[in-house]
Structure formats: structure tokens, C-alpha cells
Amino acid sequence: MFSPIGYTSFAKLWREFTSKHFVQIYTNAADDYAGDQAKRSFYVGSPADICEQIFLKSFLDYRVVVAKDLQRIAKVDVALDRQFNSIYKNASVFESTRIAENPEEAGLNGELLQRFGSVRFKPWKQYHDDPEAWTNAYPRPSEVGIGQINIESARFHTLPYVFERLQFVVPDTVPPWASDAFHKEYVNRFVDEFPGWSFCIDDDDLAGWSKSCPTYVSEFFACKDNPVQTGRPSKIDGIVSAIQQIYPTGIPNVPLKEMHRQIEATLGATVSESTIKRAIKRLKN
């Protein structure tokens, strides 16, 4: 990918990052899948997804730009806050699978899935029914041999919003699954302004970035916060909480189908439209 003099593209740095850290990331992820962090997998994804998340997060403390040529270079505010609103965050595993099942969003013959998620994107069909599926799909290195762990053939189960995977360029169109308030406000504007531009970092920051990468890897796996709620709360209570989280200023005029998908992605569970309607009725009363 293009990078102007004095900058290095994310695509090039991805190759460096994965060659140094993917085996360790895979090993730690496999331990998570087999342990008490298994449910977190439905949000963070495969070892390749995790590797990509850590890679992108590693740039939070550095000057990131997008570049089209030697003259057109723009600084990017990649994170509106350090936890949630990142300009290059991905859809969750659950939401990405639902997207892949919708022909209107996946595109003809899955063209949009491959364009944004690469040919190595694969929907995670198991949903939440079989937590052991992650262990079966990604066994520990001691079971398969360290030589079998290869980023070049690793699968992704999440879909990006604002970059084309592996190339790390801004797409020339917004994917149809970028439709909530955050994406309408930031993603659409970003894609409109910088279609085809490459994500890059200032060469003056390369040494510091490379040195900080192991810390980002260890911090990710040291954080054992599990976003999955425990217990068996009322489905309606859970949906009400999800709606309030997604729409903190009130329920907007959006299609029920879109609201349904966002609620399921937030809950990490399948719910019926009739239950959602009852939750909406409770909120309006």
C-alpha cells in the first residue's frame, strides 16, 4: 500500500507485527477459549481478530495519518475515546455472522464480505450454542504443533467498518452494515473524505511503536473483564437495557429490523421481534 516519504503504511507494519506476535497471541487466545474467558470469544473473535484488534490499538498513542499521495496527507483522530468509539472498530462476531446471512448486506456472492473482511473472513455459525466450538476450532499449540500456527491462513470472524482488511485502506463506500448513529456521524464522513487513502504512521514513531507492542499484547490478555452478563435475567429487562445503551437519547425512527440486529449484537443472544416490541412498549409507558 502507498505511504509517502517519512511514513510507513499499516499494511507493512501488519506483516512485521504478526511475524513477531501472532504465535503468542494465538497461544494466549487458545488458553482463553479453553478457560473461563470462553464467552468473551463471541465478542473478540478468533486469534486473527484479536491480533488485528491489538495491532490497531497499538497506534492509539501515536500520530496516525491517511495518505493518498505525497501532497495529500491528513491526520486521523482514530479514537474518540480509548475504549469504545474507535474509527476502525469492527462489528462483533455475532453481528458479523448476522450480516453475512443477509444478502442485502453481504453483497452479490458475498462480494462486500470479501472486500471488507478479506477472503479469509468466515462467519461463525455456532453463535452461542456451543462454547466448546472455539476450543475445537482453535486448539492449543501443544495439541497441533507450533508449526501449524500461521497468520497467512488464519480466519477472521469479524467485519470492519472503515478499512479493507489486510490492506488497511479506507474504502470508497460505506458498508451497508454501518448504519447506527455512531457510523452515520463519523464513518460516513470519514469514508466520504478519504476514499482509497492508506493508514500510515510517522517514521519518527516507528521505534517507540515497535517497542510498545509487547505491552499491548500482554495488556489485552491481562484484562479479564467479561462483557457477557451472568445469571438468567428477564429477556425484556435485558432488551430494555440494550435499547437504552444503544439509544441513550431515546428511540429513533429506525426500522425494527435494524434495531433487532443491534439489540442482538449488544446482548450476544437471539431474541424475537415480539419480545423487542414488548420492551419498546415498556419504555414508552
Please check the confidence at residue 182 and state whether its pLDDT lies above 60.
no
Tens-place pLDDT, residues 209-246: 999 999 989 988 887 554 433 233 456 777 888 888 88
Give the pLDDT score at 156.
96
Is 36's pLDDT higher than 70? no
Higher-confidence residue of 106 and 231: namely 106
Asked if pLDDT for residue 283 goes beyond 70, the answer is yes
Q: Determine what percent of the chain is predicted with pLDDT higher than 70.
A: 83
Mean pLDDT of the chain: 83
To the nearest whole percent, how much of the chain has pLDDT over 90? 38
Q: Is the pLDDT of residue 268 over 80?
A: no
Of 226, 220, 269, the residue nearest 29 (C-alpha): 220
Cα(1)–Cα(11) distance, integer angstroms:
6
Q: Say what the pLDDT of residue 233 is.
A: 42
Q: What is the pLDDT of residue 224?
A: 58
Query: Cβ(29)–Cβ(50) under 8 Å?
Result: yes
> What pLDDT does residue 157 have?
95
Check residue 249 and give its pLDDT: 81
Task: Give domain limits for the chain.
Answer: 7-222, 235-284
**Furthest-apart CA atoms within the chain: distance in Å:** 60
Contact 166, 14 (CB under 8 A): yes
**Full strand arrangement of the beta sheet holding 7-9:** 7-9, 198-202, 64-67, 73-75
> What's the whole-number mean pLDDT along residues 109-121?
94
Write down the pLDDT at residue 39: 57
